[in-house]
A and B are shown apart, each in its own frame.
Chain A
Amino acid sequence: NAGVTQTPKFQVLKTGQSMTLQCAQDMNHNSMYWYRQDPGMGLRLIYYSASEGTTDKGEVPNGYNVSRLNKREFSLRLESAAPSQTSVYFCASSVWLANTGELFFGEGSRLTVL
């Protein structure tokens, strides 16, 4: 009963380092999303993938790249981390254009950039 699994859960980086956040879902959803949540704020969409083979920018895509590896997996890469990217990152998945549009979220990945 895994749902959406994110790794790692915690990461500390130095400015300029790179890293990849991994996300996998086992619910056979076609759509996947990456959000970030800054302290005291709501979630903001970074990138999304409506279906396997497609990715699109969200509200705050600068400094990030994504890869939809297959239907299950959607990764987020920081090529050159900056302190402004310190945040909690959430991966989510859903059925595209479902009646309720419920997003299923992972537990979050807390990233600190020094």
Chain B
Amino acid sequence: AQKITQTQPGMFVQEKEAVTLDCTYDTSDPSYGLFWYKQPSSGEMIFLIYQGSYDQQNATEGRYSLNFQKARKSANLVISASQLGDSAMYFCAMREGDNAGNMLTFGGGTRLMVKP
């Protein structure tokens, strides 16, 4: 079974609007961390936001927020006020357990395209 599933291969959003990128995960470990990375066309991987499984509040970083629904095992990324520079691939990733270091399992990604 896939540990990280991103069901939206591609999405369009109008500039200045908000967009939600979906991510569901599968783990039986009570301790885990969820990450979102951005990969622009230039290819580098840029860390956006992190949510720990025990965190009580949803993580936020500027225009990025993580909608964490533990019972549903979902960790959707919300980007507010989209900008043209947000056009990129977005990857959800998970770290399982307390002794797994920072080894991450990645989903297949969602390509976001922001329309002017």
Contacts and interface: CB of A to CB of B under 8 A. Distances in A.
A105 B104 CA distance: 12
Given A88-B43, A90-B45, A96-B102, A101 B33 contact: yes
Contacts of B47: 102-104
B101 A44 contact: no
Interface size class of A (residues with CB under 8 A): 20 to 34
Contacts of B44: 105, 107-108
Interface size class of B (residues with CB under 8 A): 20 to 34
Contacts, number: 66
B91 interface: yes
Given A102-B50, A108-B43, A43 B106 contact: yes
B45 A105 contact: yes
A98 B98 CA distance: 10
Interface of B: 4, 33, 35, 43-45, 47, 50, 52, 91, 93, 95, 98-99, 101-109
Which 4 A-B residue pairs are closest in the complex by CB-CB distance? A42-B106, A105-B45, A101-B102, A94-B102
